[in-house]
Amino acid sequence: MSEKSQFRFGAATGVGSMPGGDVHEAVKTVTGSFEDFPFLPELPARGPGADMIGRTAGMLVELYARVEPSGWRIGDRPGRDTKRARSWLGQDLDALEEYTQGYEGPLKVQAVGPWTLAAQLELRNGEVALSDPGACRDLAASLAEGLRLHLAEVGRRVPGARLVLQLDEPSLTDVLRGRVRSASGYRTHRAVDRQLVESGLRDVFGAHGAGPVVVHSCAPDVPFALLRRAGAQAVSFDFSLLTERDDEAIGEAVESGTRLFTGVVPGTDGPLSDPAGSVMGVRTLWRRLGLRPGLLAEAVTVTPACGLAGASPEYARTASAHCVRAARSLADNPE
């Protein structure tokens, strides 16, 4: 059995983003709620550079981006937007280091994946990087190197952690289906060949060496089989968006050892069911696929449906704790 397949993920964790702008409060919530699987939170409410694209753009090596009215655009040199993104990330790492003294176990860090980054980050001409195959390759190489450095820094600050890299790919299905719009909005960029997408993902996964990679998307029609072939050890998704068309791909993923990060807790304020009710759909899926109930705890991590940036701080704390209780219910009563 490979080192990757032996990795033990936690039973529950968050997706990445948290509400507000107080990183110490966010890290305190994350480490207090997810004691067995914390993560480095993201706080997009702080503004450009704390959003998912800007944060990841700040990690790039020898590529720089700045904010334009239309979004993030590649520039010639690091400007104030890049510096702001890097400064906030440094502050986040300081807080994480403070609240994880002596921690040993899985720790998740998030960044935008290469294809969503290519679909969102503009070139100098205003078109997204996806429009230029050479730009896509350069972007993926820069991202991979930036992630290597980032993971090394997190490992230095939290030496007992076993790092999990999460790549956020909400635009991946649009990239595969040719639904990413041009700058004019009147046309779409052509679909990228699936083998090229798979290869690009695999190259960026390599930034984590032998470490586990989870790919997250809260968009419909997550390409489970492609992600599994590319080498993802786990796939994170909004469970409510699944249809029976996904059954075969999910069953194959589970049987091959791919872990499912099932987003079953709503990401915005609202009433929550009891913990057992939150994972009832997971049990139903298991029965429909004919999978062994005892496999549930080994194959499933419970999460919110997506990031919690749009929630209130009170709900974010409640939802995080609810994920942990729901995971415990799943483990204690798999049938």
Compute the distance between CA of residue 191 and CA of residue 173 in angstroms, rounded to an integer. 10
- Range with the lowest mean pLDDT among 28-37, 71-80, 93-102, 111-120? 71-80
DSSP structure class, residue 113: -
Compute the distance between CA of residue 32 and CA of residue 216 in angstroms, rounded to an integer. 23
Find the largest Cα–Cα distance for the chain: 57
pLDDT at res. 121: 97
pTM over 0.85? The answer is yes
Q: What is the mean pLDDT of the chain?
A: 94
pLDDT, one tens digit per residue, over 167-185 is: 999 999 999 999 999 988 8
H/E segment holding residue 32:
helix 23-33
Quickly tell me which residue has 């860090």 as its tokens.
109
Q: Is the pLDDT of residue 1 over 80?
A: no
Written as six digits, the tokens of 18 are: 């948290």
Pairing of strands 71-75, 64-68: antiparallel
pLDDT, one tens digit per residue, over 128-163 is: 999 999 999 999 999 999 999 999 999 999 999 999
Instruction: Write the burial class of residue 2 (CB in 10 Å: 0-12 exposed, 13-18 middle, 19+ buried).
Output: exposed
pLDDT at res. 270: 93
pLDDT at res. 91: 97
Instruction: Write the burial class of residue 146 (CB in 10 Å: 0-12 exposed, 13-18 middle, 19+ buried).
Output: buried
Q: Is 257 helix (H, G, I), strand (E, B) or coil?
A: coil
pLDDT, one tens digit per residue, over 183-233 is: 888 899 999 999 999 999 999 999 999 899 999 999 999 999 999 999 999
pLDDT at res. 3: 46
DSSP structure class, residue 221: S
pLDDT at res. 5: 52
pLDDT at res. 6: 65
Average pLDDT value for residue range 2-21: 84
